[in-house]
Amino acid sequence: MKIVITGVTRGLGRALAEWYIAHGHTVVGCGRNGSEIFDLRFTHPEPHSFDAIDVTEPIKVEIWAERMTGLHGAPDILINNAALMNEPAPLWKVSPQEFSKLIDVNVKGVANVIRVFVPAMIEAGRGVIVNLSSGWGRSADANVAPYCASKYAVEGLTKALAAELPEGLAAIPLNPGIINTDMLWRCWPGEAATYPTPEEWAAKAAPFILTLNRSHNGCSLSVGSDA
């Protein structure tokens, strides 16, 4: 399969990319860290493709997508993984700049990527769009209001998209669960080490994503749930 992953340079995105490549799939990925992108290119040459792209820049995302679909065709699976976490604090102490940056990546970035890849998927008549949500997109907690707001938005955006897609395509908001990532260390430094690593998580999540299809369109799923 041809799989597009955003936020591919670290954490869950990197773990998914490594698993899919190891199991014979073609991965197209983007991330903001140029040195990590170079490392991915060196480690995983063609047919895989990795580019330094900021998903908040719609024109650059569009150019990247046009080039990738020209080379590889429409993706079978599009995984919107790129996301930021706010520095934990009460909402009134989160600066406007930090709030806006998080929304730009977590919500607008998802829309930017969908806007440029989904038309090719519609033309091909197939494909699954997986937008990574969060437990904090279905519940809430103190000190992470911006992140909660963004993931609730991802849930709503994905369900609306699901209602718009033609037969053959599906859009699914997917809660990855709690994983030992840098993001978790910012929120729960005392507990983060007790959760699975991204690599351990990907061993379960990556094959789970491969099972998703039109029958799951618009369903809020979690890794490990019965798909």
For the annotated catalytic residues, the residue numbers are 147
Q: How many CB atoms lie within 10 A of CB 159?
A: 17
Non-local (6+) Cβ contacts of 200 within 8 A are: none
Contact at 8 Å (CB) between 80 and 137?
no
* Residue written as token pair 């990247």: 64
Q: Is the peptide bond before 166 cis (omega within 30 degrees of 0)?
A: no
CA angle 74, 154, 91 (to 5 degrees): 145
Residues in the chain: 227
How many Å apart are CA 194 and CA 226, to the nearest integer? 24
